[in-house]
Amino acid sequence: MYQIISHENGCYVVELSYAGTAGTLEVAGSFNDWDPSRTPMKKEKSGDRFSCRFRLKPGTYEYKFVLDGEWIADDANPNFTANDFGTLNSVITLE
């Protein structure tokens, strides 16, 4: 799930979160050149929620979670598009 935290100086602070258990969880998307190692998500103290925050300029971005090495769409985000691999990418649109 994504949430817009704030809008400052022409950029949005966006939080991505995932509810569930995992050994590792990262985010890969058009905003980080699809490199999951650049955006690891932090496990919250409860142990069943992960989150990360980052700044994005207005635009449309695609992403996937990488859950223990498996690339998955964000089930909590109803916005998605098909990709070249025959699966779905989640979409964030910031105007």
Q: Looking at the predicted structure, is the pLDDT value of residue 43 above 80? A: yes
The residues, ordered by sequence, that sit 6+ positions from 3 with a Cβ below 8 Å of its Cβ are 14, 15, 17
pLDDT of amino acid 21: 87
pLDDT of amino acid 16: 97
* The overall pTM is greater than 0.75: yes
- Find the length of the chain: 95
Q: What percent of the chain has pLDDT over 70?
A: 100
pLDDT of amino acid 48: 86
pLDDT tens for each residue of 48-94: 899 999 999 999 999 999 999 999 999 999 999 999 999 999 999 99
The 8-class DSSP code of residue 78 comes to -
3-state secondary structure of 36: helix
**What's domain 2-94's superfamily in CATH?**
Immunoglobulins (2.60.40.10)
